[in-house]
Structure 1
Amino acid sequence: MAEAHQAVGFEFTVRPDGADIKLSQEVIKNIYLSGVTAWRKRAIQFKNGVLAGVYPASPSSWLIVVIAMISTLYTRVDLSLGMIDLIKENLPRGYMSVQTGKVLSAILFATLLWLFLIYLLRYSLKALLSYHAWIFESHGKMSSSTKLWLSLIKMFSGRRPLLYSFQASLPRLPLPSVDDTIDRYLESVHALLDDKRYKQMETLANDFRNTSAPQLQRYLLLKSWWATNYVSDWWEEYIYLRGRSPIMVNSNFYVMDLLYITPTQRQTARAGNVVHAMLQYRRKLERGEHAPLRALGIVPMCSSQMERIFNTTRIPGIETGATRPMDVFSLHLIVENAYIYIYIYIYIVVSKLSLCHYHRCVSLRVPWARARLKYFSQGVNKASLQAVESSAFFLTLDDEAQGYDPAKTGSLDGYAKSLLHGKCYDRWFDKSFTLISYTNGKMGINTEHSWADAPIIGHMWEVFKKLPLFHYVESSRVSCRGGADPPSPCSPAVRPGDRLLPSRLHRRGPLQGRHQQRHPQIADDVDFHGCLFSEFGKGLIKKCRTSPDAFIQLALQLAQFRDQGGFCLTYESSMTRMFREGRTETVRSCTSEAVAFVRAMEEEDKTNGTRLELFRKAADKHQNMYRLAMTGSGIDRHLFCLYIMSKYLRMDSPFLKQVLSEPWKLSTSQTPQQQLNLVDINKFPRYVGAGGGFGPVADDGYGVSYIIVGEDLITFHISSKFSSSETDSFRFGQNIRKAMLDIQSLFKPTNHKTELPLMNGVSKGHKKDV
Structure 2
Amino acid sequence: MAEAHAAVAFQFNVSRHGLTVDYDKEILRELIHSTKRSWRYRLIRFLNRIRNMVFPFTVPSVLALIALTSSLTLSDYFDPLSGYARRLHALVPWRISALYPKQSYIVTTVSACAAAVGVVVFLTRFFLEKLLHYRGALRERRGKYSWRTKLWFIWMKVVQGNSTPRLYSYQDIMPVLPLPSLRDTIPKYLRSMRPLLDDEKYERMVQLAADFQNGQGRRFQRYLIMKWLFSTNYVSDWWEEYVYLRGRGPLLINSNCYAMDALHERGSKRQAARAANLTHALLKMRRMINQEDVMPLMLDKMIPLDSFQYPRTFDTCRIPGRETDKHVHYDSSTHVVVFNRGRYFWVPTHTISGRLLNPKELEMQFDRVLQDSSKAREGEELVAALTAGDRVLWAEARERYFSRGPNRVSLETIERAAFYLVLDEEEDYYFDASDPSRLDDYCKWLLQGACKENSCKLWCDKSFSLLIMKNGLAGVNFEHSWGDGLVAGHIWEWALTEDLGVLQYDADGHTRGSIETVPQQPQRLKFELSEECLLSINKSFKTARSLCDDLDLRVLMFNDYGKGFMKTCKVSPDAYIQLALQLAYRRDAGNYCQTYEATTARLFREGRTETVRPCTIESKAFVEAMLNENATNAERQRLLRIASEVHTAGYMDSMCGKGVDRHLFCLYVVSKYLAVESPFLKDVISEPWRLSTSQTPQNQTGRLDPTRHPEQVAPGGGFGPVADDGYGVCYFISGDAVLFFHVTCKISSEKTDANRFREMIRSSLHLMADIFKEEPARDKAPLV
TM-score (norm 1): 0.92
Shift of 1:31: 5.1
Output the CA distance in 1 between the equivalents of 2:531 and 2:779: 65
What's 2:357 paired with? none
Summarize the Cα distance change of 1:703–1:29 in structure 2 as closer, same or farther, 3 Å threshold: same
Contact kept? 2:285, 2:495, Cα under 8 Å: no
Q: Say which of 601, 614, 623 aligns to 1:589.
A: 614
Summarize the Cα distance change of 1:553–1:74 in structure 2 as closer, same or farther, 3 Å threshold: same
Q: How does 1:197-236 map to 2 (within 5 A)?
A: 197-236=201-240
C-alpha offsets along residues 255-298 of structure 1, whole Å, 9 cap, x if unaligned?
A: 00111212111111111100011111111111000111100111
C-alpha offsets along residues 516-563 of structure 1, whole Å, 9 cap, x if unaligned?
A: 411100111000000000000011111111110000000000000110
Q: Say which of 316, 322, 334 aligns to 1:318.
A: 322
Q: Say which of 461, 464, 468 aligns to 2:500.
A: 468
What's 1:565 paired with? 590
Output the CA distance in 1 between the equivalents of 2:656 and 2:604: 8
Note if 1:62 corresponds to 2:62: yes
In structure 1, the residue corresponding to 2:314 is in which secondary structure?
A: coil
Shift of 1:70: 4.4
Contact kept? 1:190, 1:592, Cα under 8 Å: yes
What's 1:414 paired with? 441
In structure 2, the residue corresponding to 1:361 is in which secondary structure?
A: helix
In structure 1, the residue corresponding to 2:712 is in which secondary structure?
A: coil
Output the CA distance in 2 between the equivalents of 1:199 and 1:7: 69
Shift of 1:510: 4.1
Shift of 1:627: 0.6
Q: Say which of 302, 306, 309 aligns to 2:306.
A: 302
Note if 1:113 corresponds to 2:113: no
Shift of 1:89: 3.9
Q: Say which of 647, 654, 658 aligns to 2:679.
A: 654
Shift of 1:9: 6.7
Shift of 1:8: 8.7
User: Identity over the aligned pairs, expressed in percent?
Assistant: 41
What's 1:384 paired with? 410
In structure 1, the residue corresponding to 2:729 is in which secondary structure?
A: strand
Q: Which amino acid in structure 2 is aligned with residue 468 of structure 1?
A: L
Contact kept? 1:646, 1:653, Cα under 8 Å: yes
Shift of 1:58: 2.1
Output the CA distance in 1 between the equivalents of 2:622 and 2:782: 20
Output the CA distance in 2 between the equivalents of 1:701 and 1:471: 42
In structure 1, the residue corresponding to 2:345 is in which secondary structure?
A: strand
Q: Say which of 278, 286, 289 aligns to 1:285.
A: 289
What's 2:44 paired with? 44
Output the CA distance in 2 between the equivalents of 1:520 and 1:471: 37
C-alpha offsets along residues 48-70 of structure 1, whole Å, 9 cap, x if unaligned?
A: 22211221222223323332134
Shift of 1:480: 2.2
In structure 2, the residue corresponding to 1:668 is in which secondary structure?
A: strand
C-alpha offsets along residues 70-120 of structure 1, whole Å, 9 cap, x if unaligned?
A: 421331755435543443344455445122111111222222222222221
Q: How does 1:482-521 map to 2 (within 5 A)?
A: 482-484=513-515, 487-489=518-520, 496=524, 498-499=526-527, 501-507=528-534, 509-513=535-539, 515-521=540-546
Output the CA distance in 1 between the equivalents of 2:226 and 2:9: 57
Note if 1:339 corresponds to 2:379: no
Output the CA distance in 1 between the equivalents of 2:656 and 2:513: 47
Note if 1:444 corresponds to 2:475: yes
Shift of 1:392: 0.6
What's 1:404 paired with? 431
Summarize the Cα distance change of 1:584–1:488 in structure 2 as closer, same or farther, 3 Å threshold: closer
Shift of 1:16: 9.5
Summarize the Cα distance change of 1:643–1:9 in structure 2 as closer, same or farther, 3 Å threshold: closer
Output the CA distance in 2 between the equivalents of 1:56 and 1:242: 40
TM-score (norm 2): 0.90
C-alpha offsets along residues 608-662 of structure 1, whole Å, 9 cap, x if unaligned?
A: 1111111111111101100110100000001001111111122221101110110
In structure 1, the residue corresponding to 2:701 is in which secondary structure?
A: coil
Output the CA distance in 1 between the equivalents of 2:309 and 2:640: 37
Output the CA distance in 1 between the equivalents of 2:136 and 2:711: 37
Output the CA distance in 2 between the equivalents of 1:336 and 1:611: 54
Output the CA distance in 1 between the equivalents of 2:15 and 2:74: 74
Contact kept? 2:767, 2:782, Cα under 8 Å: no
Note if 1:132 corresponds to 2:135: yes
Contact kept? 1:738, 1:756, Cα under 8 Å: no
Shift of 1:37: 3.8
Summarize the Cα distance change of 1:168–1:7 in structure 2 as closer, same or farther, 3 Å threshold: closer
Shift of 1:393: 0.6
In structure 2, the residue corresponding to 1:319 is in which secondary structure?
A: coil
Shift of 1:147: 1.2
What's 2:73 paired with? 72
In structure 2, the residue corresponding to 1:698 is in which secondary structure?
A: coil
Q: Which amino acid in structure 1 is aligned with residue 514 of structure 2?
A: G
Q: Which amino acid in structure 1 is aligned with residue 258 of structure 2?
A: Y
Shift of 1:419: 0.7
Summarize the Cα distance change of 1:79–1:695 in structure 2 as closer, same or farther, 3 Å threshold: same
Shift of 1:359: 2.9
Contact kept? 1:535, 1:713, Cα under 8 Å: yes
Note if 1:701 corresponds to 2:702: no
Contact kept? 2:343, 2:524, Cα under 8 Å: no
What's 1:426 paired with? 457
C-alpha offsets along residues 494-532 of structure 1, whole Å, 9 cap, x if unaligned?
A: x75621x5232454x44544x441110011100000000
Q: Which amino acid in structure 2 is aligned with residue 87 of structure 1?
A: L
**Comparing 436-445 and 466-475, the one that deviates more:** 466-475
Output the CA distance in 2 between the equivalents of 1:343 and 1:754: 64
Q: How does 1:606-617 map to 2 (within 5 A)?
A: 606-617=631-642
In structure 1, the residue corresponding to 2:603 is in which secondary structure?
A: coil
In structure 1, the residue corresponding to 2:710 is in which secondary structure?
A: coil
Q: How does 1:527-538 map to 2 (within 5 A)?
A: 527-538=552-563
Q: How does 1:534-683 map to 2 (within 5 A)?
A: 534-683=559-708
What's 2:392 paired with? 366
What's 1:765 paired with? none
What's 1:768 paired with? none
Q: CA RMSD of the aligned region, Å?
A: 2.7
In structure 2, the residue corresponding to 1:341 is in which secondary structure?
A: strand
Output the CA distance in 1 between the equivalents of 2:749 and 2:538: 27
C-alpha offsets along residues 561-615 of structure 1, whole Å, 9 cap, x if unaligned?
A: 1100111110000111111111111011100101111111111111111111111
**Comparing 622-631 and 109-118, the one that deviates more:** 109-118
Contact kept? 2:251, 2:387, Cα under 8 Å: no
Contact kept? 1:72, 1:79, Cα under 8 Å: yes
Q: Say which of 163, 180, 190 aligns to 2:167.
A: 163
Output the CA distance in 2 between the equivalents of 1:303 and 1:496: 36
Output the CA distance in 1 between the equivalents of 2:191 and 2:315: 44
Contact kept? 1:27, 1:489, Cα under 8 Å: no
Output the CA distance in 2 between the equivalents of 1:288 and 1:22: 41
Q: Which amino acid in structure 2 is aligned with residue 482 of structure 1?
A: G
Contact kept? 2:463, 2:479, Cα under 8 Å: yes
Output the CA distance in 1 between the equivalents of 2:473 and 2:520: 31
Contact kept? 1:331, 1:347, Cα under 8 Å: yes
In structure 2, the residue corresponding to 1:106 is in which secondary structure?
A: helix
Shift of 1:228: 0.9
Q: Say which of 267, 271, 278 aligns to 2:271.
A: 267
Contact kept? 2:505, 2:512, Cα under 8 Å: yes
Output the CA distance in 2 between the equivalents of 1:389 and 1:471: 30
